[in-house]
Amino acid sequence: MKRSIKVQPKKRGRSATDKDPLMGFRASPDIRASIVRWAENQPDHPTLSEAIRRLVEIGLTASATSADLRYQTKARASAGKASKLAEQLGLKAKK
């Protein structure tokens, strides 16, 4: 007896165009115009979507940098306070 031919069932629906999840948001016309102006001033003239992605990336990088600066400032202040306290207690700093 011959084996039957296996038929691949057809895939239904639209094929996946991208693997990243979609994120949507509402923006006022002024914000949108600002993004478009920013994109027009870029050397490669990105699309609106790409311009938004780049601006978000820039914002996240900047906030991480400012958080690092705040941490460094607090660390310096804490080190200064520890040094003063050590002096008051008569402890010598190791070099």
Residue 94 binned pLDDT confidence (cut-offs 50, 70, 90): low
Alpha helices, H only, the chain: 29-40, 48-89
For the stretch 57-74, what's the b/e string if a residue is b when 16 or more beta carbons lie within 10 angstroms of its beta carbon? Answer: eeeeeeeeeeeeeeeeee
Segment 36-86, tens digit of pLDDT: 999 999 999 999 999 999 999 988 888 767 667 777 777 777 877 777 777
From the list 72, 83, 35, the residue with the least C-alpha distance to 56 is 35
93 near 83, Cβ under 8 Å?
Answer: yes
Sketch the domain layout of the chain as residue ranges.
Answer: 33-88
pLDDT for the residue numbered 28: 93
Tell me: pLDDT of 32 over 70: yes
43 near 50, Cβ under 8 Å?
Answer: no
**Cα(30)–Cα(64) distance, integer angstroms:** 27
pLDDT for the residue numbered 2: 74
| Higher per-residue pLDDT: 57 or 6 | 57
**Cα(51)–Cα(33) distance, integer angstroms:** 12
